[in-house]
Every structure is written in structure tokens, then in C-alpha cells.
Structure 1
Amino acid sequence: MQSIRDRLENILSRLAYRAADEKAFTKLYAEAARAAADASDARKRVGVTLGPLDGTIVSIKDLFDVAGEPTTAGSLMRRTAAPAMRDATIVGRLRQAGAVIIGKTNMTEFAFTAIGDNMHYGTPGNAVHASRIPGGSSSGAGVSVGEETSEISIGSDTGGSIRIPAALNGVVGFKPTARRVPLSGAFPLSGTLDSVGPLARTVPQCAAADAVMAGEEPNELVAIPLAGLRIGIPRGVLFGDTEGEIAAAFEHCLGRIEQAGARIADLPIDDMIADLRAATKRGSIAAMEGAEVHADWLATGASVPVDPHVSGPLSRAAMLPAPVYIRALRRRAALTAAMDERLASIDVLALPTVPVTAPTIASLAEDAELRDRIEGLLLRNTQVANQFDLCAISLPMPGMKLPAGLMLVARNGHDSRLLSIAASVEGLLGG
């Protein structure tokens, strides 16, 4: 059996080899990680374990506080911020569970935008094809798990920022119900919509990390038999403009799930999506809450360059009057309750995580219109789970030339059940 320290050194040497061109990580904690790995190996020798994450090599998105250093959140502006006084709650919980925290991963500036590019710290190339976008905003997280420089990576998800990079890099990404995992010590985008969750190679790894971060005892994940499960397919607007290969892979997965005894039926939700879209027409909740987070520099002007794809929407949202925001929140609350009622007749919704595979970084840099179109498509399916306060997971679909995900969505608070169903689906599809 390879020691944890040997596994860690193997990864560190791979990262050292490309240090001059490192874009997936923004910071490495080599010495602290070595100490944590050695401690885990020592526990193992005497038959002691701190649980399923003991000795797991974990990276964290560059918006989680680590005591003694500024939290840059993918921005130059935050480089001179006051150092964090203490670790983010989830970082402390991961350390207590024996996780070996190897470093901080790159992200889009202030966790805004879904492409995964960063004009300050570089854009990490996709784990499968380095010329292609990683997806965002947890870009480095998706790449590091995909290329196996982390076993688990912790990201945040406001409109799909865990599931988009998971889908595009061919890994598993889990967005828990909002407020299941504490946000303290995580640099915010939208207090209403932000969720903290894991990306990993398997569903059980995601479940173990989620339990630790939620402050629960990580129990053995028991797969729920698929026979008799009710799966709703939200055909309609969420299935438009889907690449042929993704549509075919999705239907193939559905066929396999149905053969295993699940009951599959269409469950339309287009009316609710249209209703929420109308309620947030003048400004999205994420942009309006983000504008409050960044109100000071938006008012005075930024002292350093900020990505215009970030500053533009935030500036526009900052101009909106309070009633627009309050009405959007009130309408969302009513629609969230209505969605919960509609989903009561099924166990999970199933749909493609993203309707497109990763385009090249160069193609989007050269064509602003294409970039906007791709960004809209990347966010379209995933953001439904944030907007209606649901939990969701993306699983890699087999047989794809470029990765894409199968997304399963469940009701608010049904996280454990969703993970158990996802484990069964992963087993069936050969995860």
C-alpha cells in the first residue's frame, strides 16, 4: 500500500514540474500538507482513523479563508486584504477529519461567470483537453480532480459553479441544499444562492466530504435500488440547443436506468422557470446580492483592473432600486414552495448538466457573442437548482469524446437520499 506521504509527493512533483505555468492552483501548502500526510500515515500504522477523509488529498477554492493569509477570491483587489483571522468553518472541519489540504485552486474573479477564465491568474486548461475551457467558477477545482492533483476539491455553487466544471472535466460534482454547509469564512457572491460542496471522482467521496463539512457523522453510503424509483424529465426549455452527442448519451443513460426498473415520466417545469425569469428580468438575485458585497469599490471605481465580465453586470445591478430586489426575493420564495410541491410526486429530476461540451479557450476569447451564448447555455440547466433552493449532483456520462454530465436534482433537504440514488446510478453506468 502506498503511503499518504508518497501519494502527496507524487502530486507535488507533478506540480513542481509545471510550476512556471501553473494555472489550476493559486497557492500550495506543501509543508503543511506533508505534516498532515505524515500524521495520517502514523495513525494508520497504529490502526487509528479520523474517518473516511483521513489522508485524503483535498484542495480548496481560493475563496475559503485560511488563517494568516488574505483570501484573494480570484481577484487582484483582494491581494492586499487583511489576512484571515481563522480558517473558514469547512476548512477547520476538513482538517479535523484528517484531510491533507494541498492548496488553493484558481477560480473566476469573485466567483462570477461560468466559463472558468481568469485574466489575473490565468485560465486553467480543461483536464481532458488543455486547449478547452475548464468551466467555472470553480475552474481549478474541476481541473485538479480531473487531472488527479487532488482527490477531492471543495468549490462553491451559486448558479452551477461546482456542477459546470465537474461536467466539463468528467468528474462528480455535488451542490447541497443551500445553508446545509456553513458559509462562514467563504467569500460571498450571493448569500441567498451560495452553496459549498465537493468535486471528486466518485459519489461516495462527495458524500464523505459533504458530511464532514455539514458537521455530520460520515456514514457508509447505502445505494438505493433503482427499481420503482420515480424519475421526472423536465423536457422543454432545458433541453433546447443540446449538442447531439450529449442528447444521445443522456437518452442512453435514461434507457439504462429504466431497464433497472425506474419509472420515468416527463415532468414539465417550464412555467415556473418562465415565472422566475420574469421576476428577475431587471437583475438576477446573484448580481444584485453581489453588487451589495462589492458596493464600495463599485461606487468609487476599482483601484486595480477587474474582469469586465464581472464588473459590468455588478455595476448594472448596483443601480437597481431596492424594491426590484425585494420583489424578486418574495417571488422566488413563492416559486420555491410551488416547485417543492411539484417535485413531491418524484424522487429526482434528471437532465443533462450542461447542453454543450467545452469549447476552446481561444474561440471564446476571439468572439464576444459566442462567449455570451456559451455562458448562457452553461448556466441554464444548473441554475434551476439554486434558484428553486434544491440539491443537485452531476455525474459523468459514459462514452463521451469530450465530457458532459448527467444531472440529478432533488427537493430541498433531500441531500442524503439524492447521494444514495446517485451512487446507484454511478454503479449502473460504470462510475
Structure 2
Amino acid sequence: MHPDLTSVRDALLAGRESAAEWLDRARAAAALPASRHAFLRHFWPQAEAAAQAADHARAAGVPLPPLAGLAVSIKDLFDVAGHPTTAGSIVLPADRPAERDAAAVARLRRAGAALVGHTNMTEFAFSGVGWNPHHGTPANPVTAALDPATPRIPGGSSSGAAVSVSTGAAWAALGSDTGGSIRVPAALQGLVGFKNTARLTPLDGAVPLSTTLDTACAITHSVRDAVLLHEVLADRRVALSCRPLSGWRLAVVRTTLLDGLDTTVAAAFERTLATLRRQGARVEELELSHIEQLSQIQSSGGFAAAESWSWHRRRLATERHRYDPRVAQRIERGAAMSAADYIDLQQARSAWIASMQQTLNGYDALLSPTVPIVAPPLASITDDDAEFFRVNALLLRNPSVVNMLDGCALSLPCHGPDELPVGLMVWSTALRDDTVLDVSLAIEAALQHAGSRP
């Protein structure tokens, strides 16, 4: 179990450790077999300069920046000055370095992050599995410790991002979330993944999947680290009330989101609800039939298909053979959507969001399993397209509801110490980010107090 970034920053402030020493440990972790395929390229000289600057500042009595020269990884979707951005593909040129940082990367750098490298990902961020046939797929390092004989999927699309945090190669990871790409790998690896309201964080300098749904956000070890990273990425202060669990009105959504849970997820989720209720939480059950409307609303292909087709169509016309066929297949669904279909989709989403907001008014947050299954074996999806797409649909089913809602959500671990990782999703409507973080801090504390969170 790794400490979180906040505790390490406290150690730096107290002079017990140096940022350079912690960076050496991150570099060693990145070289371990558990980190295989997690990174596509490293930025060690830049990282060393940031760590040394933090150490010099502390020695001189200068206040440390928020991220204090500590290791942060960057999904290969975001531009880092001096390095190419390839989005996990072999289609984009690997010999054209970015001239400037993406906006989110620039904010991390200004906050003192030691940027350690571009992490592997599903090609063009188009699946929740984490599979990448071009660069290799990193095995889930957390499940490997419990079940070493069965390599399991890391979750995606921010696969290498989560692995970098799980192995200790980074304290936090910048990624993106279009239908769950932060929360899925966080759930499958026992980490914290916060998807903020999309408009709060900039996407300038990032390769798009869906301009409507994409969100720049981070994976961390703890909810307090999620608060810190969100403050940096959104350039805003989070307002926390630190109310006890009894001060929040919570609801469990019973419609669709609890369907087909495997036994590990079902047991962990029910145990979590029981723990929260014992510690004073008011948890109601809510039938939310609106969720059943999403399949019809997106029947023509959805935003990701339409908007990725617009971005990729010319390149696919000449280079389709270089794409992951599973990714190309999903992008090409957008070719069948007309302009009228796309306008209908926008209007239907707006009406659906308005109806959802009215129904959810009065609840502080909703509770659901982040994903309905534990991480499946890698072998099960390697050569079986039907199983791949079945697993992908299951992984994205719950978290994608929040993206369509234009909402915010946090996944935190809720499994026992000897169980495969399970995520609890705490979610709400747009711009309720501070409330979701506030509630999540209380839930995390309650689960740790009960011994139900590893």
C-alpha cells in the first residue's frame, strides 16, 4: 500500500524526505515488471529539474508549490512541450514534438509537478478495457498481487495512467474521462478517480474523442489527493463543509446500475451500504427510470461515434489498416449519423438532463457500483471480439450515465483487503463537484474506520 501524495508532501515540508529521493523511487518503480507497458515515453530530465527546484525552494524557506516536485504521469493524449503526442496509436507522427504544453499539463507544471512520462492508453481513448495491440497492454498490477496466475485487464482508456499510480511510478495521473476512462481503471485497480464537471477543466492541447463528453481529470490514491489535483487542474478552490455522514441525503439508484453484478461487486457494495448506514448515513433507494431512456437516445451511435468520425474520417480513408480494428469499428459507426441525427441527439440529451436534474433535486449524491464486474482476465478478451465488446459495454454502462448527464463522479475503493478491487461511485449533476468530493471524504473515512477500505 502506497502513501498518498498529501502525506508525502507533508514529509517534504517537515524535511524528512526530499523530492529528488522520491523521484528516484518513482523511476525505480517505473522499471519494475509490474510497470511493463505502462509508459510510452519518459520525461526524466524535466522531472529531475522539477524535483530539484522543489528541494531548493524548501531549503531556502520558500513555500512549496502544491505538488511539491512529486511525480505525476500524463496520458498520451495531452501535449507535453518537447515530446510527441500519439494517443496510444501508430497513426499520429511520433517524430513531431509538441511546441507547448496542453492547458492541463501547464497547470500541473505550474503547481510544481515532476512530469515523469506519457502513459499508455487504449488507442484514441475508445474503450474501457485498456487494450492496446500496438504498444502492449499493461497487466493489472493490483490483481496480480492477489491472483498472480491470471493477468487481468487494467481498465481503460487511461490504462497506463492507473498502472503508474498503482505501482508507485507516479503519485497522480492526468487522464481523460469520456464514458468512464478515469473511473473504470481506478475501480479495477483500487484507486480513486474523480471525473469533474467537464467544463471546469481545459482540453486545449488534448487529442479529442468526443468534444461533448471529454473531461480532463486525474487518478490518485485518496480522496484528499483528488481534491488537490482538481484544484490544480480546474484552477479553483474546493469548498468543503466536512459534514458527518448523517448530514447528507444519499440515494442508491436501483434502475439498471445494479443489474448483472458479479458476486464480488454485489457483496462489496451491499457491505459498503450497511457500513455507511451503521455510521449514520441516510441512504434511500431510488428508482430512476430515466436511465433506461439512454439506449434509445443514443441508438444512432452517440456523441463519441459522431465526433470521433469527424476527427478521424480523412485519416481512416487512407490509413485504416494501421488502426486497432476494434477502435476503427467504433469510430466508423459515426459515418451513418446524419446532421439531423446529431441535432436530435443534442436536443434529446438536453431534455434528458433537465428531467434528471428535476428528479435528483434534494439528493446530495447518488451511490452505485462504478462497474458491475471485477477485472476480467486479459486472455478472455485478447482474441474474442464478441467478449471484448461485451466486457467493454459492461465496464462503461454505469460511469457513462454521468457523462451523458454532464455531471461529476468519484470512484473510490470499497473492497476488502483480500478481495479483487471494487469501486464505489459517488455522483451527482453538473457543478456539484464540491459536494461529491465532500461526501466522498466522509465515505472514505467511514470505510477506513470500519476496515472496509484497503
Query: Which TM-score tier does this pair reach, normalised by the shorter chain?
Result: over 0.9
Report the count of equivalent residues. 427
Cα distance between partner residues in 2 of 1:217 and 1:395: 21
Contact 1:212 1:218 in 2 (8 A): no
RMSD: 1.7
Contact 1:52 1:218 in 2 (8 A): no
**Is structure 2 residue 437 aligned with structure 1 residue 419?**
yes
Provide the secondary structure at the position in 2 that maps to 1:395.
strand
Give 1:237 shift. 1.3
**Is structure 2 residue 426 aligned with structure 1 residue 408?**
yes
Cα distance between partner residues in 1 of 2:287 and 2:380: 34
Give 1:18 shift. 4.8
Match 2:403 to one of 379, 383, 386: 386
**Is structure 2 residue 116 aligned with structure 1 residue 97?**
no
In structure 2, what is the equivalent of residue 374 of structure 1? 391
Match 1:85 to one of 91, 95, 99: 99
Cα distance between partner residues in 2 of 1:28 and 1:22: 13
Unaligned runs of 5+ in 1: none
Provide the secondary structure at the position in 1 that maps to 2:361.
helix
In structure 2, what is the equivalent of residue 6 of structure 1? 21
Question: Deviations along 1:128-180, whole A, 9 cap, x unmatched?
Answer: 13411000000001111111111000110000000000000110000000111
In structure 1, what is the equivalent of residue 370 of structure 2? 353
Provide the secondary structure at the position in 2 that maps to 1:406.
strand
Task: Name the CA shift for 1:218/1:339 in 2 (closer, same or farther; >3 Å).
Answer: closer
Cα distance between partner residues in 1 of 2:69 and 2:169: 14
In structure 2, what is the equivalent of residue 110 of structure 1? 124
Cα distance between partner residues in 2 of 1:332 and 1:49: 46
**Is structure 2 residue 152 aligned with structure 1 residue 132?**
yes
Cα distance between partner residues in 2 of 1:226 and 1:343: 19
In structure 1, what is the equivalent of residue 77 of structure 2? 63
* Stretch moving more, 40-49 or 141-150: 40-49
Question: Deviations along 1:321-343, whole A, 9 cap, x unmatched?
Answer: 11111101110011111111111
Cα distance between partner residues in 2 of 1:309 and 1:224: 46
Contact 1:76 1:304 in 2 (8 A): no
Question: Deviations along 1:110-133, whole A, 9 cap, x unmatched?
Answer: 000111010111101102134110
Question: Deviations along 1:264-299, whole A, 9 cap, x unmatched?
Answer: 111122x3222222121121111111111112113x
Contact 1:351 1:407 in 2 (8 A): yes
Cα distance between partner residues in 2 of 1:211 and 1:289: 29
Match 2:255 to one of 233, 236, 241: 236
Give 1:24 shift. 0.4
Task: Name the CA shift for 1:37/1:342 in 2 (closer, same or farther; >3 Å).
Answer: same
Pairs within 5 Å for 1:21-420 = 22-80=36-94, 82-130=96-144, 131-217=151-237, 223-269=242-288, 271-298=289-316, 300-302=317-319, 305-399=322-416, 401-420=419-438
Cα distance between partner residues in 1 of 2:84 and 2:44: 18
Cα distance between partner residues in 1 of 2:202 and 2:407: 16
Cα distance between partner residues in 1 of 2:28 and 2:264: 37
Contact 2:415 2:423 in 1 (8 A): no
Give 1:66 shift. 1.1
Cα distance between partner residues in 1 of 2:328 and 2:95: 19
Aligned-pair identity (%): 43
Cα distance between partner residues in 2 of 1:407 and 1:327: 30
Query: How high is the TM-score relative to the length of structure 2?
Result: 0.91
Give 1:80 shift. 4.5
Give 1:51 shift. 3.7
Provide the secondary structure at the position in 1 that maps to 2:319.
coil
Cα distance between partner residues in 2 of 1:122 and 1:47: 45
Cα distance between partner residues in 1 of 2:66 and 2:81: 25
Cα distance between partner residues in 1 of 2:32 and 2:382: 28
- Residue identity in the other structure for 1:328: L
* Stretch moving more, 57-66 or 10-19: 10-19
Query: How high is the TM-score relative to the length of structure 1?
Result: 0.95
Question: Deviations along 1:313-370, whole A, 9 cap, x unmatched?
Answer: 2112123211111101110011111111111121100010011001111111133222
